A = this chain, B = another copy of it.
Amino acid sequence: MAIKLNRLNRKDYYQAIYKSIQDNRRDDFRDLFLKLHEKDQVAVFHKLYPEKKNKIVDLLQASEFAELFEHLDYKGRRQAIEDLPADYMTEVFTYVADDEVTAFIHELPQADRQHVLESMRPSDRETIETILEHDFETAGAIMTTEVLTVYAQDSADQVITGIRQAASAVETIYYVYVVDEARHLLGVLSLRELLRAPGDCPVQDIMNSQLVQADIGMDQEEVARIIKEYDLLALPVVDGQGKLVGIVTVDDVMDVMDIETTEDFHRFAGISGSPDNESDRESIFETVKNRLPWIIILIFLGLVSANLINMFEATLSRVVILAVFMPIIMDSAGNVGTQSLAVSVRRLTLGDNTESFWVLVWKELISGIIIGLAAGITICGVAYFLFGNPVLSFIIGISLAATLSVSTVIGYLVPTLFSKIHIDPAVASGPFITTITDATGLLIYFSLATYLMHLL
């Protein structure tokens, strides 16, 4: 009967592991520890005191610790390098997947990179240095070079035997890539298809030659999109000559998706700079560096609104009460602008093209008019209730209705227009749109008020 790991006995289970280390019962430790998923192994490892961590060297083979290492975060990895003997770590690095090693080195301060690279075997170092040459956030930078390749003439049985031997050295055994002598990618074969085929069947008869592949310089977001759309577990990466250089696996792509989402979120809120992996907490300096420029730019953009009010100073000084409703006009305009902006940016990110652009703009306009009318009637009623001035209430109501109708369309149009003229639509952040819609709202409001001034 198998031990079932649930909330109740997880603590006891971990306790048994710690006890086995204390008592130097190596076999018991390995029995208990290796049954855990690497993520849980990490949890156990983290709780060991530094002097106990050193014992890991005797308890785990380098290949076993390599799997745990892959699940450590940046801090944990740095710690491991400091705590464990250098020759043990050198061996560990030969087993850690390339993409994990490169990701780790990417995050290291420049000064420490050389040090870690020098601690690796020359052959490992060479591979990593090649990957490090690729542009940040491209297929080449997130791929692993540990791939199963076979020749077109190999039989299904030969390949299966090969897989059985290589199973621990490669990142995924679920796809096998068919190449010629020069490593040109000819086809791909899933383990599923392989198992279904007769044993003596040459792989060229069962392989899929309609390749879905990534160029080495392809943006990681595009890589993620392909893997998602084709429901792949891994995507082969080729160089300019169509030679197989590596694969990107689905688990890496999920991390990419998280990072890209955070990036989109931050841009949407007007924060520049790309967020790092979970590790490397942002310093106050970086926070300021990523946020301040936008705030300053937007202050200068905000001078447009300031200038508008200054133009209407005569109106305002005669009817100071007009200022009371400025926040509501501005906020509401910004709010509907942000709403349609979010819809628009997200649609562009997902590459959703099922409806024509102008149909969508038309829909936004109609929605904006309806929302504007509802909000206008509301504020008209509230204003009348508060100040009992029908003309003022009317001005505010009409202004709000018109402002919201226009702002909805602005929020929708701007990112699309940006993307049409090849500016990243995410530049059209919420704060940016708000600044535009504010000016629009104030212009409508004060123009109408000035025009109807004689009635006030």
Contact = CB atoms under 8 A, between A and B. Distances in A.
Interface in A198-236: 204, 207-212, 227-231, 233
A266 B343 contact: yes
A167 B186 contact: no
Interface stretch (A81-89, A135-143, A364-372): A364-372
B281 A332 contact: no
A210 B316 CA distance: 72
Interface in A121-171: 152, 160, 163-164, 167-168
Contacts of A309: 323-324, 326-327
A195 B167 contact: yes
Contact of A352 (B230, B278, B339): B278
Contacts of A284: 363, 366-367, 370
A296 interface: yes
Contacts of A191: 173-174, 191
Given A167-B195, A204-B2, A346-B265, A354 B316 contact: no
A288 B195 contact: no
From A258, A343, A374, A438, name the one whose CB has the most chain B CB atoms within 10 angstroms. A343
A310 B324 contact: yes
Interface of A: 1-5, 13, 35-37, 39-40, 71, 73, 75, 152, 160, 163-164, 167-168, 173-174, 178, 186-187, 191-192, 195-196, 204, 207-212, 227-231, 233, 242, 250-251, 253-255, 257-258, 261-262, 264-266, 268-271, 278, 281, 284, 287-288, 291-292, 294-296, 298-300, 302-303, 305-307, 309-310, 313, 316-317, 320-321, 323-328, 330-332, 334-336, 338-339, 341-343, 345-346, 350, 352, 354-355, 363-364, 366-367, 370-371, 374-375, 378-379, 382, 404, 430-431, 434-435, 438-439, 442
A230 B251 CA distance: 9
Given A191-B191, A363-B287, A332 B371 contact: no
Contact of A298 (B160, B186, B332, B352): B332
A71 B232 CA distance: 13
Contact of A335 (B13, B295, B367): B295
B187 A168 contact: no
A292 B374 contact: yes
A176 to B, nearest CB: 12
A291 B37 contact: no
B291 A339 contact: yes
A195 B336 CA distance: 57
From A331, A334, A382, name the one whose CB has the most chain B CB atoms within 10 angstroms. A331
A166 to B, nearest CB: 10
Contacts of A364: 287
Given A287-B367, A324-B306, A210 B5 contact: yes
Contacts of A355: 281
17 contacts: A1-B186, A37-B212, A167-B196, A168-B196, A173-B195, A228-B254, A228-B258, A250-B251, A257-B257, A266-B343, A288-B367, A295-B335, A295-B374, A309-B324, A317-B317, A326-B326, A335-B434
B332 A295 contact: yes
A164 B288 contact: no
Nearest to A193: B167
A342 B271 contact: yes
A331 B343 contact: no
Contact of A320 (B152, B254, B317, B324): B317
Tell me the dominant secondary structure on chain A's binding face: helix
A113 to B, nearest CB: 23
A269 B230 CA distance: 31
Nearest to A345: B265
B335 A270 contact: yes
Contacts of A73: 354
B288 A371 contact: yes
Contacts of A327: 302, 305-306, 309, 326, 330, 438-439, 442
A285 to B, nearest CB: 9
A338 B257 contact: no
Contacts of A320: 313, 316-317, 320
From A178, A265, A270, A364, name the one whose CB has the most chain B CB atoms within 10 angstroms. A265
A383 to B, nearest CB: 9
